[in-house]
Amino acid sequence: MDSSKVSISIKGLQKSYGTHHVLKGIDLEVESGSIIGYIGPNGAGKSTTIKILCGITSDFEGQVTVNGIDLRSNPLEVKRQIGYIPEKAALYATLTPMEYLEFVGQLYGLNRDTIADKSLRLLELFDMKGVAYNRMDTFSKGMQQKVLIISGLINNPKILFLDEPLSGLDANSVIIVKEMLLQLAREGKTIFYSSHLMDVVEKISNRIVLIDKGVVVADGSFESLNQGRGESLEKLFAELTGEKGLTDRAEKIVQAFE
């Protein structure tokens, strides 16, 4: 891969919590303008990887560069250039969306007029303008998630990290987010997307990285991983992570209630 096009470089990434080794040596290069579907079973190390790449978790082994910036030596500069959309986060529910987005925007050094303009336009696009000045303690999970998504976009990031970003969203909002990610990638932005929704990952990702037990077990386009077998990503996921006989297991669960 042309080094000038590499937006994320990971070499020998390891992370342990006590004696529990979560990441055991991840090597990965991500090209600008690509959508990476980063998938794996629960506990595989997906969220840990993303938290490291976003500078949230600083205690790790290995080398990570983001847009050519060494994450360990200059985490603040990395954070200025990225957006992060988690599955859930502390939204300070007594704030309104406008107040929360102003807070996030100022962390990125944006001026208040720019923040207010962007916030209102994005809230309107997500059908949230009518509650822009309402306190978020009354919001549903989906409404809160929309605010999180907007906060991850407010600084027009070069790289966007998403960890289960569609949690709680209605069907129309899911479509909007999927189309938005495709358009951002076409503009040259890098999308690093982690989700358990295999159908979404399959449809939007031009490269899929599957990790299991802290190591990469598959890396490539869906077509190359599928190798003409006509399988869905969901079935490939089960096969590659050793989870066979899932239909039989489901049948036994049902039988347990008989």
The pair phi, psi for residue 67, each rounded to 5°, is: 55, 35
Asked if the model's pLDDT at residue 244 lies above 80, the reply is no
**Is 81 part of any domain?**
yes
Asked if the model's pLDDT at residue 3 lies above 70, the reply is no
Asked if the model's pLDDT at residue 192 lies above 80, the reply is yes
Asked if the model's pLDDT at residue 1 lies above 60, the reply is yes
**Is 140 part of any domain?**
no
Per the prediction, the chain carries an average pLDDT of 90
**Is 139 part of any domain?**
no
Over residues 54-87, the pLDDT tens digits come to 999 989 999 999 999 999 999 999 999 999 999 8
Percent of the chain with pLDDT over 70: 92
Asked if the model's pLDDT at residue 246 lies above 60, the reply is no
Over residues 79-120, the pLDDT tens digits come to 999 999 998 777 888 999 999 999 999 999 999 999 999 999
H or E element at residue 253: helix 246-255
Asked if the model's pLDDT at residue 255 lies above 90, the reply is no
- The total of structural domains in the chain comes to 1
C-alpha pair distances (Å), 58 with each of 13, 16, 52, 71: 12, 12, 6, 9
**Is 122 part of any domain?**
no
Asked if the model's pLDDT at residue 257 lies above 60, the reply is yes
**Is 145 part of any domain?**
no
Asked if the model's pLDDT at residue 4 lies above 80, the reply is no
**Is 142 part of any domain?**
no
**Is 131 part of any domain?**
no
Confirm if 58 and 133 have CB atoms less than 8 A apart: no
What pLDDT is attached to residue 114? 95
Q: What CATH number is given to the structural domain containing 217? A: 3.40.50.300
Residue 55 domain boundaries: 3-88+156-255
Rounded Cα gap, residues 103 and 147, in angstroms: 12
Amino acid at 212: D
